[in-house]
Amino acid sequence: MGAVFAETALTRRKRLTERLAQGILGLMALSLVVPLVTIVAYLFVQAWPLLSWDFLTSNPIDGMRHGGIWSAFLGTMYLVTASLCVSAPIGVLAAVYLNEYAEDNWLTRMINLAVVNLAGVPSIVHALFGLGAFVLFAGIGRSIIAASLTLAIMTLPVIIASTKESLASVPRSFREACWNVGATRWQTIRRIVLPNSVSGILTGVILQVSRTAGETAPIMFTGAVFFKKIPEGDIFAYSLTDQCMALSMHLYTVTTQVTNAPHALPYAIAVALLGTVLVVNALSIGTRVYLRSRKKW
Partner 1 sequence: MVEPKQKKVEVSNLRLSYGKKEVIHGISFDIRQSEIFAIIGPAQSAKTSLLKCINRTLDFVPGAKVSGVIKVDGQDVSKMKNVYELRRKIGMVAPLPVGLPLSIYDNVAFAPRAAGMRNKRALDALVERCLTQAALWDEVKDRLDSLGTKLSGGQQQRLTIARALSHSPEVLCLDEFSIAIDPVTTMRIEEVLKQLREKITIILVTNLVQQARRLADRTMFLWNGEIVEMGTNDVMFSEHPQNRQTYEYVNGIFG
Out of 31, 103, 139, 260, the residue judged to bind partner 1 by CB under 8 A: 103
Closest approach of Cβ 268 to partner 1, in Å?
Answer: 47
> Any residues with CB less than 8 A from the CB of 167 and at least 6 apart, and which?
95, 96, 99, 100, 193, 197, 201
Closest approach of Cβ 188 to partner 1, in Å?
Answer: 9
Does position 178 interact with partner 1 (CB under 8 A)? The reply is yes
Q: Identify residue 32 by its one-letter amino acid code.
A: L
Give Dmax over CA atoms of the chain in angstroms: 87
Site size toward partner 1, by CB under 8 A: 22
Does position 109 interact with partner 1 (CB under 8 A)? The reply is no
Out of 48, 179, 226, 290, the residue judged to bind partner 1 by CB under 8 A: 179
Cα separation, 87 vs 160, whole angstroms? 9
Question: Using CB under 8 A, which of the segments 38-46, 188-196, 223-231, 270-278 binds partner 1?
Answer: 188-196
Out of 183, 194, 198, 258, the residue judged to bind partner 1 by CB under 8 A: 183
* 6 three-class SS: coil
Cα separation, 287 vs 269, whole angstroms? 27
Cα separation, 50 vs 66, whole angstroms? 10
Cα separation, 205 vs 280, whole angstroms? 11
Does position 106 interact with partner 1 (CB under 8 A)? The reply is no
Out of 28, 33, 181, 235, the residue judged to bind partner 1 by CB under 8 A: 181
Residue numbers at the binding site for partner 1 (CB under 8 A): 103-104, 173-184, 187, 191-192, 195-196, 295-297
